[in-house]
Amino acid sequence: MSHALKLYCQTTELAELRKYISARLQNTGLSESVQLQLILAVEEVCANLIIHSHQCNREEHILVDVHKEKQNITIEIRDKGNAFNLLDYDLPNLEQVMGEKRKGGLGIILVRKIMDKIEFSSNEGTNICRLIKKISC
């Protein structure tokens, strides 16, 4: 991972994450709207990791990197927290969530709608989540 951001597991670090992703998405050919969507998706995944996998433990960290490839932007998120595979998550029924007026549980829906592909792997205690967005030519 080149130029990866080391994000300590505190929600106050999310502002730094937004700046980092925004800077890395410059000159990618993505519209401002798509860039903002990608920032939202990455922030959602990282916030969930910080809060749920790392319990806001400031001594732990997440590594985030952005790779621009010919036809894709790949955002790779690595951590050593409790594994959470976005692909295994059962999406809640939106009508039920709205009826219950509960907070939370919708971020993963947004991530899945924004990204074109999500990959997840876990090996020897390291979790890797790749969020992939196609670049329109």
CATH number at residue 68: 3.30.565.10
Query: Taking a C-beta distance cutoff of 8 angstroms, is the pair 80, 61 a contact?
Result: no
Domain, as residue range, for 128: 5-134
- What's the whole-model pTM score? 0.85
**Residue-by-residue pLDDT tens, the chain, 137 positions:** 458 999 999 999 999 999 999 999 998 889 999 999 999 999 999 999 999 899 999 999 999 999 998 899 999 999 998 876 556 656 656 566 556 655 556 778 889 899 999 999 988 989 999 999 998 75
The total of structural domains in the chain comes to 1
- 10 Å CB burial of residue 21 (0-12, 13-18, 19+) is buried
